[in-house]
Amino acid sequence: MIKVSAVSYHNTTPMIYGIKQTRFINQMDLQLDIPAVTALKFMNDEVDVALLPTGVLPQLKNYKIITDICIGAIKQVKTVAVFAEQKIETLQKIHLDYHSRTSVELLKILLKEYWLLPNIELIPSSEQFEKNIHDTSAALMIGDKTFPLLNKIPFQYDLATAWNDMTGLPFAFAVWVAKPHVTDAWANKLNKALQFGIQHRTTLIEELNQKNKTVDWQDYYFNCISYELDDLKRTAMNLFLEKIKKPL
């Protein structure tokens, strides 16, 4: 049985839907985790396949990208952002989301090369760190916990938007990777299952609207999250990986 770790956020809901609806879930041991945990499980050989934050890839030795599906964004993503009460040029501290390394590395690049604010203090955080959003203190937040803040916090700096403004490229936040022993046949079945789920996003939106009407799910799944790992996203991923290898 192939052990699989996938991210437990709403951005993966179409993927999980596809895995379940095509019954491909019967060919895996599926575990849902936060991004940081998926990375640890894969690096510690606890799982064979994982949806991994791209910032983790330089730490891996033996792996292969196995699908043309990713968690990406073209010009905005909304759920990876710096939330603040003041303009970014007035900030002194940004508390960092502990769920993902990729967003932290991307923020470091953008502070230095895009906003030209390399001296803002970056503070590792734990649970409920969003309480630190006040005055000149902000928070980098990712995933589902950002939804309640989208209409409340006055200043929101979308990292995908900033990256696109700086590079003209989209961004790939996470990709599906596997250990070398995972066969191409299995990987192809996974890819088809993921595609099925993404093609049926409208069905999921109807269900989600019944549970939570405060989020514009249509906008999120069709205008924010971009699932195709195309050539532009691969170019962006390579550029990002080059940048994080260099001292900032």
pLDDT of 74-85, one tens digit each? Answer: 999 999 999 999
Q: CA triplet 42, 127, 237: central angle to 5 degrees?
A: 40
Mean pLDDT, to the nearest integer, of 92-109? 91
Q: Is the pLDDT of residue 131 over 80?
A: no
In the chain the domains, ranked by start, together with CATH numbers, are 2-73+170-245 (3.40.190.10), 80-167 (3.40.190.10)
End-to-end CA separation in angstroms for the chain: 42
Element (H, E) at 108: helix 101-113
pLDDT of 133-186, one tens digit each? Answer: 999 999 999 999 999 999 899 999 999 999 999 999 999 999 999 999 999 999
Looking only at the bridges linking them, the beta strands covering 93-96 and 121-124 are parallel
Range in 26-40, 125-139, 231-245 the model is least confident about: 125-139
The C-alpha atoms of residue 202 and residue 177 are separated, in whole angstroms, by 27
Q: Which of 170, 177, 155 is nearest to 5 (CA)?
A: 177
Q: Is the pLDDT of residue 51 over 70?
A: yes
Tell me the backbone φ, ψ of residue 117, rounded to 5 degrees: -130, 60
For the full predicted model, state whether its pTM sits above 0.85. yes
The C-alpha atoms of residue 41 and residue 240 are separated, in whole angstroms, by 23
Mean pLDDT, to the nearest integer, of 129-133? 79
